[in-house]
Structure 1
Amino acid sequence: MDTVGIEELEAELYRLNSVRFDAVQKKQLVQMLNRARSGWTPVDTGELRQSSIVDNDEMGYTKDYAPHVEFGHRTKNGGFVTGQRYLEANVEIQRGIYLQDLLKAIKKG
C-alpha cells in the first residue's frame, strides 16, 4: 500500500486546523463502516458483518474468525481456504477518498 505524501498532508492539515483533521478522519471511518455493513463484508450467518465497529481511530471486526476470512485458513483435511481480503479492499477504496478529502480540507484552510 503506497502512502507517499499522505503523512505530510495529514501533518499540514493538523497544523492548519486540528478540528477539521479530526472530522476528515472520522468521515473515513464512518464511510468504511457503512461500506462494511452494506454488503462489503462476506456473509454466512451475518455475525461478521454485525461485528464491524469503529473504536477510537480504527475500523474493524470483533469476531475472532475475522482474520481467517480476511487472510485465509487451513482446513481440517489439510486444504486451504483463500482469504477474501474484504477489509483490505475497503481500505484501498477509502485511500483515494481520504487523499481527496485531505486536499479539500487543506484548501479550505
Structure 2
Amino acid sequence: MAKFSIDVNGVGDVQAKIKGLVKYRPMIRSCIVKSLADMKNRSEQLTPEDTSELKKSAYQRMNGDLEGIFGFNKEYAPYVEYGHRLRNGKFHPANPYLKPNAEAQAKIFKKDCEEAMRRLAK
C-alpha cells in the first residue's frame, strides 16, 4: 500500500473564511422568510382576479435552509402570466403578476440583507 501526502498552502485561511460565513446563515434565512411573506402579501394586489382561485393558490415555503419557493398552484397560472392562444385562434394577452412581484422583491431582499449585514458587523 502506497502512502502519500499533499501539502497545500493557504487552506487554513480559506477554512477560517468559510467558518466565518456560518454566522450569516440565520440572517440570510430571516431575509428569505421575510421575502416570501412580502411576496405572498404583494400577490394579493398584483394577482388578477376573475374567480379568486388563482390568488388563493399562492403558496410559499422554505426549501432547505437557505432557499425559498413562492408560486401558484393553479395549472392555468402560466397562461395568465404569459398569455395564451384561444380556441378561435385569437391571442389572449399576458397579464403578468409573478414577474413584477419578483422584480420588486429582489430590490427589497438586497436592501434587507445589506442592512442585516451592517447590523451584524457592528
Q: TM-score range by the shorter chain?
A: 0.7 to 0.9
Q: Identify which of 105, 111, 114 aligns with 1:94.
A: 105
Is residue 27–residue 113 contact of structure 2 (8 Å, CA) maintained in 1? no
- Separation (CA, whole Å) in 2 of partners of 1:19 and 1:71: 36
- Separation (CA, whole Å) in 2 of partners of 1:90 and 1:104: 21
Is residue 73–residue 83 contact of structure 1 (8 Å, CA) maintained in 2? yes
* 1:45-71 deviation line (CA, Å, top 9, x unaligned): 000000001032111000000000001
Q: Identify which of 43, 48, 64 aligns with 1:42.
A: 48
* 1:14-44 deviation line (CA, Å, top 9, x unaligned): 544211110001100100001112x210000
Q: Percent identity?
A: 35
Whose helix proportion is higher, 1 or 2? 1
Task: Give 1:75 deviation, angstroms.
Answer: 0.3
Task: Report the AA paired with residue 82 of structure 2.
Answer: F
Q: Identify which of 80, 96, 104 aligns with 1:69.
A: 80
Q: How many residue pairs are counted as aligned between the two chains?
A: 97
Q: Which has the larger radius of gyration?
A: 2
Q: TM-score, normalised by structure 1?
A: 0.82
Unaligned runs of 5+ in 2: 1-20, 63-67
Superposition pairs for residues 1-109 of structure 1, below 5 Å?
Answer: 15-37=22-44, 39-56=45-62, 57-109=68-120
The DSSP-based 3-state class of the residue aligned with 2:59 is strand
Is residue 36–residue 61 contact of structure 2 (8 Å, CA) maintained in 1? no
Is residue 16–residue 106 contact of structure 1 (8 Å, CA) maintained in 2? no
